[in-house]
Chain A
């Protein structure tokens, strides 16, 4: 049913539609970040599309993908025409896509959530603050390189004796969903003795890149600066050595 919508988009945008797919009636297209708002506006305003129902806007993190790390996923629907379409775009870490708030005001909180969870900033957003987490929180928890068991408590935990959990609440006890010691699980996964660990968790052990693109860039610049400093130091030392016997 949404095929018509996709073909309408293709005929209007031509090459700007980078890819399109159709999986069991779920039609999706991919566009570039620079066309993001144009496509959204067209989806809303075109007479044949009339996408007036902003369903959701969210993001996906692919830390191992080179280049653009995130996918932005927009789901919209037309109440009148009864069709829907999914639009995705690839966003590199540090790139700031334009906000969709002027197109659908519902995008306001969705974009705040994406900022909160993934750290993608939106240009011209009216009020880009954290929406679910607290301001003291450092990092972005839905990035796959955020340690899965790292909490940042607002109230310092008590340090009372006897805080170890009573029998039914021990870490692997009692409940059908025993809590997991991630360190053990990772060790088991690494030497193949236990259950496998999801690759996103293994990120923390350094098997995969554990830094974001921008952090990698900063680290590279720092490393370069250190190397230059080191070279200068060595040079000065050599000169000092050369001078020393001349004096003696």
Chain B
């Protein structure tokens, strides 16, 4: 963002900044989401929206069940071959600018469904911006992904997918369950 200048004594305020940066800033804080939740990951997706994790802090809480009004397509869960045309169509119907988040291992690479049923990663049919590993990912990882996406939007990067670094859930569990004596 640019600097703020006071012009004259009447209290009028103006920002001098790049219009692109301003637009990107506005975009990244008002992401309307299209939740395409198909499987178990959907549960964790609801958890992110719950007050404890509160995705509203990022201005990304409003779901839009019309692709025309959505900015981010959250692909949450396993995409079967039979569903693939639907995802593709919804993606095509969304208006630019649009972003895609692959939520969970299934959406990112097909997970353990390595057979005739499942698309091995939704990136095989539509371009993905951010991947979230985990089966299912923790809400913290999802918020990480949202911040990565915001960063991308601010920088105006297209393509070049990024991934939330994976964490070992067992190590976290061990830390939490250490005997307190």
Q: Using CB atoms and an 8 Å cutoff, list the residues of chain A in contact with chain B.
A: 132-134, 137, 141, 146, 148-155, 157-158, 160, 162-163, 165-169, 174-175, 177, 179-180
Contact of B135 among A160, A175, A180 (CB under 8 A): A175
Is there contact, CB below 8 Å, between B133 and A168? yes
Q: How far is the CA of A175 from the CA of B165 in the complex (A)?
A: 12
Q: How far is the CA of A137 from the CA of B117 in the complex (A)?
A: 11
Q: How far is the CA of A163 from the CA of B123 in the complex (A)?
A: 7
Is there contact, CB below 8 Å, between B166 and A174? yes
A170 to chain B, nearest CB (A): 8
User: Chain A: interface secondary structure?
Assistant: loop
Is there contact, CB below 8 Å, between B115 and A151? yes
Is there contact, CB below 8 Å, between A155 and B127? no
B120 to chain A, nearest CB (A): 8
Among B13-21, B93-101, B102-110, B171-179, which stretch is in contact with chain A? B102-110
B32 within 8 Å of A by Cβ? Answer: no
The interface residues of chain B lying within 8 Å CB-to-CB of A152 are: 81, 116
Q: How far is the CA of A148 from the CA of B113 in the complex (A)?
A: 11
Interface centre among B111, B123, B161 (most CB of A within 10 A): B123
The interface residues of chain A lying within 8 Å CB-to-CB of B160 are: 162
Q: How far is the CA of A149 from the CA of B116 in the complex (A)?
A: 6
Q: Which are the 8 A-B pairs with shortest beta-carbon distances?
A: A169-B109, A177-B112, A168-B133, A155-B84, A168-B166, A166-B163, A157-B124, A141-B116
Interface centre among A132, A157, A160 (most CB of B within 10 A): A157
Is there contact, CB below 8 Å, between A169 and B114? no
B121 within 8 Å of A by Cβ? Answer: yes
The interface residues of chain B lying within 8 Å CB-to-CB of A148 are: 114-115
B77 to chain A, nearest CB (A): 16
B85 within 8 Å of A by Cβ? Answer: yes
In chain B, positions 125-181 with a C-beta closer than 8 Å to chain A are 125-127, 131, 133, 135, 159-163, 165-166
Known contacts A165-B121, A168-B163; is-contact A134 B82 (Cβ 8 Å): yes
Known contacts A151-B81, A179-B109; is-contact A158 B123 (Cβ 8 Å): yes
Is there contact, CB below 8 Å, between A158 and B127? yes
Is there contact, CB below 8 Å, between A169 and B105? yes
B88 to chain A, nearest CB (A): 5
Is there contact, CB below 8 Å, between A149 and B123? no
Chain B residues within 8 Å of chain A by Cβ, number: 34
A156 to chain B, nearest CB (A): 8
B76 within 8 Å of A by Cβ? Answer: no
The interface residues of chain A lying within 8 Å CB-to-CB of B118 are: 151
B119 within 8 Å of A by Cβ? Answer: yes
Please, which residue of chain A has its CB at the minimum distance from the CB of B105? A175
Is there contact, CB below 8 Å, between A160 and B127? yes
Q: How far is the CA of A174 from the CA of B104 in the complex (A)?
A: 13
Contact of B116 among A150, A162, A167, A169 (CB under 8 A): A150
The interface residues of chain A lying within 8 Å CB-to-CB of B161 are: 162, 166
30 residue pairs from A and B, CB less than 8 Å apart: A132-B82, A133-B82, A141-B116, A141-B117, A148-B114, A149-B114, A151-B115, A151-B116, A152-B116, A153-B84, A154-B82, A154-B84, A155-B85, A155-B88, A157-B124, A158-B125, A158-B127, A162-B161, A163-B123, A165-B108, A166-B131, A166-B161, A168-B163, A168-B165, A169-B105, A169-B108, A177-B111, A179-B109, A179-B112, A180-B114
A137-B116, A150-B116, A168-B166 known; 12 new pairs, CB 8 Å cut-off, are A141-B116, A146-B116, A149-B114, A149-B115, A153-B124, A155-B85, A158-B125, A163-B123, A168-B108, A175-B105, A177-B111, A179-B112
Is there contact, CB below 8 Å, between B131 and A155? no
Contact of B159 among A146, A157, A162 (CB under 8 A): A162
Please, which residue of chain B has its CB at the minimum distance from the CB of A175? B105
The interface residues of chain B lying within 8 Å CB-to-CB of A168 are: 108, 131, 133, 163, 165-166
The interface residues of chain A lying within 8 Å CB-to-CB of B124 are: 153, 157-158, 163
